[in-house]
Amino acid sequence: TQLLEQSPQFLSIQEGENLTVYCNSSSVFSSLQWYRQEPGEGPVLLVTVVTGGEVKKLKRLTFQFGDARKDSSLHITAAQPGDTGLYLCAGGHNNNDMRFGAGTRLTVKP
Amino acid sequence: DTGVSQNPRHKITKRGQNVTFRCDPISEHNRLYWYRQTLGQGPEFLTYFQNEAQLEKSRLLSDRFSAERPKGSFSTLEIQRTEQGDSAMYLCASSLEAGAYEQYFGPGTRLTVT
C-alpha cells in the first residue's frame, strides 16, 4: 500500500499539450519532493517544496504544495517528447523517513 | 564529483545463490539509503546509514538481507539465498544530513533471479 497516491497512473498526450499530475496523502509532510525517472535509471530530483501553499517553477514545470502540506501537483506547459518519463513524488515526515508514490508514467508523442 | 555510482548495473543469478551490490555515494554526503523498486511501483525504503551507523531498517529487509557501510563511505547490500521474489531494481541514494530529503540516486542495480 502506497502512503502517497499519484494520479493518473498513466498519461499519454501530444507534444504541445498541457498536463497536470497529482500526489495526494492523508498525512502531513515536512517536505515533498518530485523526481523524474527514465527506464533503467535512478530517479532524478526535480524540486523540493516545504511550505504549505508554496509554488515553484522550473522552466515549463510548475510545482505546488497544498496549503495543508498533504498534497502536491505538477503542471507541465507545452509538453515535449523529452518530458516522457515516470514522475514520482516522495514525502518526508521527519528527518529520517521518506516514502514514494507509485508514480505517473507520462508519454509525450511527437 | 560524478554522483552516486552503483555496481554492477545488472546481475543475473540462480535461485539460492548469494549476491552483493556496491554503492559509492557523493563524497561529502554522510547519509546513504537503499531502496528496492519493482515494475510499476515507486522505490521502497530498505535501510539507511548515517556515516557508518545503520539507523533504520524496513520490515521489507528480511534476515537474508544485510547492508554495511564499514568506513562511512561506500556501502554494500548482500542478499543471501536469493529467491525469485528478490528480482527488482536496487537503488542507492545519498544526502547530507541537513538536507536529508534531497536524496540523489544512483543508476541502480537490476537483479534477476532465475
pLDDT greater than 90 at residue A96: no
- CA pair distance A9, B75, nearest whole angstrom: 33
Contacting B residues, span 25-64, partner chain A, CB-CB under 8 Å = 35, 40-45, 48, 55-56
B4 and chain A in contact, CB less than 8 A = yes
Determine the pLDDT at residue A95: 58
What pLDDT, in 10s, does the model give residues A56-73?
Answer: 999 999 999 999 999 999
**A90/B101 touch (CB, cutoff 8 Å), yes or no:** yes
Strands A104-109 and A85-94: antiparallel
Q: What's the pLDDT band for A104 if we cut at 50, 70, 90?
A: very high
- CA pair distance A33, A50, nearest whole angstrom: 9
In the three-class reduction of DSSP (H, G, I as helix; E, B as strand; rest coil), residue B107 is classed as coil
Q: Which residue of B has its CA nearest to A9?
A: B40
Determine the pLDDT at residue A102: 94
pLDDT greater than 60 at residue A2: no
Helix or strand holding residue A44 (H, E) = strand A44-49
- CA pair distance B10, B3, nearest whole angstrom: 19
Determine the pLDDT at residue B40: 84
DSSP B40-87: TS--EEEEEEETTEEEEE-TTS-TTEEEE-TTSS-EEEEESS--GGG-
Choice between A98 and B44, residue whose per-residue pLDDT is larger: B44
**B41/A31 touch (CB, cutoff 8 Å), yes or no:** no
Determine the pLDDT at residue B96: 85
- CA pair distance A106, A9, nearest whole angstrom: 9
Closest among A92, A101, A103 to A39, alpha carbons compared: A103
Low-confidence ranges of chain B (pLDDT < 50): none
- CA pair distance A50, A31, nearest whole angstrom: 4
Q: Which residues of A1-12 are buried (b: 16+ CB within 10 A; e: fewer)?
A: eeebbbeeeebe
Q: Please provide the average confidence, as pLDDT, over all residues in chain A.
A: 92
What pLDDT, in 10s, does the model give residues A7-47?
Answer: 999 999 999 999 999 999 988 888 899 999 998 899 999 99
